[in-house]
Amino acid sequence: MPSILQPMRHAALIALLAATLTGCASVAPTSAIAPASQRHGSTLPAATELGLSTGTPSRHWWHALQDERLNTLVSTAMQHNQDRLAAVAAVRQARALAGLAERDALPQGSLSAQAQAQRPSLAEVDPYRQGLDRPPSQRLATIAQMVSWEIDLFGRVGTASAVAQRQADAAEATAHSAEALLQAEVVRHYVLLRLYQHDLARWQEERDTLRQRYTVVQARERAGLADARETWAAQGQWAQSQAALAQTQAALHGTRAALAVLVGRAPTTQGSVQDAAWEALLAPDTTATGPALPAVPAATGIVQPSDLLARRPDVARADAQLRAALGETVLADRAHLPRLSLNLTAGLNAPFGALGKSSAARYAAGPSLQWDWLDAGRIRARAAAAKAGDEVAWHQFEHTVLQALADSESALRNWGAAHSAWQQAQQAEAAAASAAQYAQSRAHAGLEPPTEALQQQAQWLQARRSAIAQQADALQAYAQVQLALAAWQPDTQNTASEPGAPVARATP
């Protein structure tokens, strides 16, 4: 089929010229974008007051809590949490769509084959009734190879590909945010689990102490050594401890269920080998003073990142959305420009059994220009909408940056206050323990009634619970600080790449 080769050579020359023109075409123009850190100082006053060092925080920040079972829970959650897996799948989806948009700049081809029997109607061959004969039916076979290539003269295809890439970056930043939040949530619920386990043991002990005190006060009332008001007060304290015990038990079960969901397991399954391992993870770590909480890290363990705004996934997401909006504006501005395509069709068309003859060859090659010159204002309306969307993305990005700085500053101050409150609570507990021991010795010596010693014992248990609650608050504040300072890095195998650096521009 030598007759087909010549037009194909012509089409190749046209394609070469088009590729040269495409190289001269510009994609979305570079906007006036500069790093956000140049306009927003990321040095936090609270970090200076706390004397924090600047550097790169540890990615596995929860290891500072010195709890191997917590480490296991975080690792399990990162593997099986459904929200995180959905976010990672969304990244793969967005990357695939970005690859699809990028391939729109490449030629497209298709092969078709068709066999049909046809015979036109009389109205088709003799519409004016001139007595023309109706031709007989035909049985035709058609084989065609079609190739089309849109020449990106004005950067439309390249800009659409760049927009899809930025949308994929936003999906990746969302996945990073889901991972960071998941880690913090596992730590938070694990701390609550240990707190409720400790409170449950303390409330049981306090309930027994108050019950004993109530019994002693009743005996003293019967002996005429106390009046009914003391008995009623002792009975009320005992009833309050029973109510608090029931509430703590309910909160403990709720926290266990929440942890199960975080690690991707049903909270109601029982009886399997996996359940035995799960129960071992959640079993209280009992010490001489009762169930223990993870260790509170020292304040020196917190590091202020030098690239705070670049590390936070919410800022990275807003940055990618802003860049995508800028690309959409460019696409809308160029929607009125014409589109140029190169088309080539070559194939065979002949009756059955004659496809091998040279007369069956057919071809069509040449450029195609499309220009929507009449749109009744649609293109202008689209450009106005894209410009407004650009403004929305810009203001959302600015708000995200400001909110990120505010969250980091607040988290640091809460951590400082919680750490100080925990230290004061420890001192208060020590004082209450000394008072209880002193009252016990006086009661044994007969210098004061045993009810006073029991009351001091109950107050020491209350101080102990308060100190543990303050320890839990400090641990929660530590997790919130690490989340706010983005003290983590995603595993390279979890997501495709790191989110881009945050951006800003001089004017909307």
Return the percentage of the chain with pLDDT > 70, whole number.
85
Identify the residue with better confidence: 342 or 225: 342
Please check the confidence at residue 14 and state whether its pLDDT lies above 60: no
Please check the confidence at residue 359 and state whether its pLDDT lies above 80: yes
Beta bridge partners of 364: 345
The pLDDT tens digits for 152-174 are 888 888 888 889 999 999 999 99
Q: Which domains does the chain have, with CATH numbers?
A: 22-104+152-335+380-505 (1.20.1600.10)
24 band by pLDDT with thresholds 50, 70 and 90: very low
Identify the residue with better confidence: 213 or 76: 76
| 366 φ/ψ angles, rounded to the nearest 5 degrees | 155, 170
Mean pLDDT for 332-346 is 88
Identify the residue with better confidence: 65 or 241: 65
Residue 105, pLDDT score? 82
DSSP E strand boundaries for 107-193:
108-118, 138-151
Structure tokens at 14: 């046209």
Please tell me the distance from the alpha carbon of residue 409 to that of residue 460, in angstroms, as a whole number: 35
Least confident of 1-15, 40-54, 156-170: 1-15
Residue 35, pLDDT score? 62
Residue 490, pLDDT score? 62
CB–CB of 158/25 below 8 Å?
yes
Residue 454, pLDDT score? 76
Identify the residue with better confidence: 124 or 400: 400
Which of helix, strand or coil describes residue 53?
strand
Question: What predicted TM-score, i.e. pTM, was given to this entire model?
Answer: 0.78
Please tell me the distance from the alpha carbon of residue 166 to that of residue 103, in angstroms, as a whole number: 16
Q: Between the ranges 166-175, 202-211, 297-306, where is the mean pLDDT highest?
A: 166-175
356 band by pLDDT with thresholds 50, 70 and 90: confident
**Average pLDDT of the residues of the chain:** 81
Residue 5, pLDDT score? 45
Identify the residue with better confidence: 317 or 132: 317
Least confident of 16-30, 153-167, 240-254: 16-30
The pLDDT tens digits for 455-500 are 788 788 788 888 888 989 999 999 999 888 887 666 544 444 333 3
Residues 6+ apart with CB under 8 A from 429: 460, 463, 464, 466, 467
- Note the maximum CA span of the chain: 137
